[in-house]
Amino acid sequence: MNKIVLKSGRERSIINRHPWIFSGAVKQMPQANNGEIVQVVSNANEHLGFGFFSPNSQITCRLFSFDKEDEILDFNYWKNKIANAYSLRTRVINFDTTNIYRLICAEGDFFPGLIVDVYNEVAVVQVLIKGIELIAPYIYKALNELGFKYIYLKTKQNTQLLEGVLGGNNWIDARPQHQVIATEHGVNFAVDVENGQKTGFFIDQRENRKLVGEYSKGKKVLNTFSYSGGFSLYALEGGASLVHSVDSSKDAIQLCEQNIGIINKKESHQSFVVDCFDFLKTCDTDYDVIILDPPAFAKSAKAVDNAARGYKNLNLLGIKKVAPGGLVFTFSCSQHIDKDLFRKIVFSAASDAKRNVRIIKQLSQPEDHPINIYHPEGEYLKGLMLQVD
C-alpha cells in the first residue's frame, strides 16, 4: 500500500486522532491516484492510520482508521461502519414518530467524505471526496441490506470540480414512482431530494423546530429564510395564531406552501417571496417569535469578517422587530463562525438595539449529527434562544 510520510513533529494531531492531514504536514507524497486508500506513517515510519488520498486538495488525506496495519478493508469493513452508525440512530431517534434523520455524518461517524440522509424509505448519499466515490458500490449494497428501498446520489458541483468526483445527481437502480413524504416528530413533509437544497431538507434543525413549536401557542411567528417551511409547520402545529414564512426563492416558497397544505393550516399562514433583510426592515407586525436561520454566510475563513457583519445586521433587525417579551431563535450554520464568536456577534447586535436580552437556551445540532471529539470542526450549527424585553 502507498504511504504518506509526515514531517517530523507533525504526528501529534494524528496521534490525537484528528482525521485531517494538510499538505503542509507531508514530507513525502504517495505514488497514488486521487481517492486511493493510503497508509499514513510518521517520519520514523511508524504506522498512524489509513485514509483517502486527495492530491489536489488542501486536505491531502482524510483518515477513517487509526487501527492496526493488518485491517482488511473489504465490503464487511464498510458495512460495519454503516451498521454502527445505524445502531446509534436506533438509540437516539424514535422511529415511531420520525423517519427523517442523518444516518452518516462524515467525520462524526468516522466516515469522512460521506453524508447519508434518510427520508422514510429513501437514502440520499452525498459524496464529498473521490475516495467515497470509489467505494460507493459497497455503500449502496450496505444501505440496501439495511432495508432502504431507494438510493439517490447527490454531488455538489464544487465537489466535482475540486475533488475530481465524477458522479452527478441520479437514482441508483430503482426510482420511487411517488413524491417523497417523510415524517419528523409526527409532522409530515414533502421532500424534494432531486432539486432541493442540501439533500432535500435541513435535518439538523429537527429538535430546534420542535422547540419553536412548543413556544408558539397563540403567538404571531415570523420564519425568515424559511425554505420549505420547517419551522413554520411546527409553529402552526403548536397552535400559533399567525405564521409568516419569508424566503427569496420562489421555488422554496412553493414547497413551503405545499407542506402547509399537507397539515391543512393555510388559514393561519402567509408566505412572502422577498429578501429577508428587506422584509425585516419594512414589516409592521410585532411578532412574538422570530426565527433567524440564514444559509452559511462564511463559506471560507476569508469570508468571516463579512459574514460577521451580515449576522450582526440580521440579528439587530430581529431583536428590534420582536414584540416586548418575545423570543428570537437565531442560528449560524457557518463552520468558520464558532459558537463564541457567534455569541459575541449577537451581543453586539443586542447592544446596538438597546433592549434587554436574555439567553434562555443555547442550541446546537441534534444527536444524529454527532461531533467527533477529535474533530471540533464538526460542530457547525450553533444557535441561541433569546428573550427580548
Q: For 171-203, what is each residue's pLDDT tens digit?
A: 999 999 999 999 999 999 999 999 988 899 999
What pLDDT does residue 158 have? 82
Cβ neighbourhood burial of 97 (10 Å; 0-12, 13-18, 19+): exposed
Same domain (yes/no): 23, 156: no
Helix 230-237 with 206-214: angle, nearest 10 deg: 30
Identify whether 343 is part of a domain. yes
pLDDT in tens, 324-355: 999 999 999 998 899 999 999 999 999 999 99
Task: Pick the last residue of a domain from 65, 87, 119.
Answer: 65
203: left (phi over 0), alpha (psi -120 to 50) or beta: alpha
Confidence of residue 248 (pLDDT cuts 50, 70, 90): very high
Cell triple for 87: 445502531
pLDDT of residue 272: 97
Boundary of a domain, candidates 65, 84, 108 = 65
379 assigned to some structural domain = yes
Q: How confident is the model at residue 123 (pLDDT cuts 50, 70, 90)?
A: very high
Q: What is the rounded CA–CA span in Å between residue 193 and residue 169?
A: 10
Same domain, 135 and 50: no
User: Same domain for 82 and 51?
Assistant: no
Contact 51, 32 (CB under 8 A): no
CATH number at residue 160: 3.30.750.80
Asked if 238 contacts 268 with a C-beta cutoff of 8 angstroms, the reply is no
Residue 186 maps to a domain: no
CB count within 10 Å of CB 248 equals 15
Please indicate, yes or no, whether residues 115 and 217 belong to a single structural domain of this protein. no
- Residue that terminates a domain, selected from 41, 65, 89: 65
Alpha-carbon distance of 105 to 87, in angstroms, equals 14
Q: What is the pLDDT of residue 159?
A: 85
Name residues whose C-beta falls within 8 Å of residue 20's C-beta, 6 or more positions apart in sequence: 59, 61, 62, 63, 112, 375
pLDDT surpassing 80 at residue 299: no
Which residues, in sequence order, are bridge partners of residue 385?
Answer: 329, 361
Establish if 70 belongs to a structural domain. Answer: no
Residues 92 and 144 in one domain: yes
Q: pTM to 2 decimals?
A: 0.94
Q: The domain spanning residue 35 has which CATH number?
A: 2.30.130.10
| b/e sequence 142-175, b meaning 16+ C-beta within 10 Å | bbbeeebebbbbbbeeebeeebbbebeeeebeee
In a domain, 85, yes or no: yes
Residues 253 and 275 in one domain: yes
d(CA 85, CA 366): 14
In terms of domains, do 209 and 291 share one? yes
The confidence score (pLDDT) of residue 71 equals 80
Q: How confident is the model at residue 119 (pLDDT cuts 50, 70, 90)?
A: very high
| One domain for residues 370 and 265 | yes
The pLDDT of residue 172 is 96
Position 197 in a domain: no
Q: 141 with 218, same domain?
A: no
Other C-beta atoms closer than 10 Å to the C-beta of 284 total 5
Return the CATH number at 242.
Answer: 3.40.50.150
Mean pLDDT (the chain, rounded): 95
For the chain, what is the HEC assignment?
A: CCEEEECCCCCHHHHCCCCEEEHHHEEECCCCCCCCEEEEECCCCCEEEEEEECCCCCEEEEEEECCCCCCCCCHHHHHHHHHHHHHHHHHHCCCCCCCEEEEEEHHHHCCCCEEEEEECCEEEEEECCHHHHHCHHHHHHHHHHCCCCEEEEECCHHHHHHHCCCCCCEEECCCCCCCCEEEECCEEEECCCCCCCCCCCCHHHHHHHHHHHHCCCCCEEEEECCCCCHHHHHHHHCCCCEEEEEECCHHHHHHHHHHHHHHCCHHHEEEEECCHHHHHHHCCCCCCEEEECCCCCCCCHHHHHHHHHHHHHHHHHHHHHCCCCEEEEEEECCCCCCHHHHHHHHHHHHHHHCCCEEEEEEEECCCCCCCCCCCHHHCCCEEEEEEEC
Give 318: exposed, middle or buried? Use CB within 10 Å, 0-12, 13-18, 19+: buried
Residue 191 counted as domain residue:
no
What are residue 266's phi and psi, to 5 degrees?
-60, -30
Q: What is the pLDDT of residues 67-108, one digit of tens each?
A: 877 788 999 999 999 999 999 999 999 999 999 999 999 999
Q: Would strands 220-224 and 242-247 be described as parallel, antiparallel, or unpaired?
A: parallel
89 & 131 share domain:
yes
Indicate whether 179 belongs to any domain. no
Q: Is the dihedral of CA 231, 235, 237, 242 positive or negative?
A: negative
380 and 263 fall within a common domain: yes
C-alpha cell at 217: 401557542
Range of the domain at 54: 3-65
- Both 36 and 103 in one domain: the answer is no
On whether the CB atoms of residues 329 and 208 are closer than 8 A, the answer is yes
Number of structural domains (the chain) is: 3
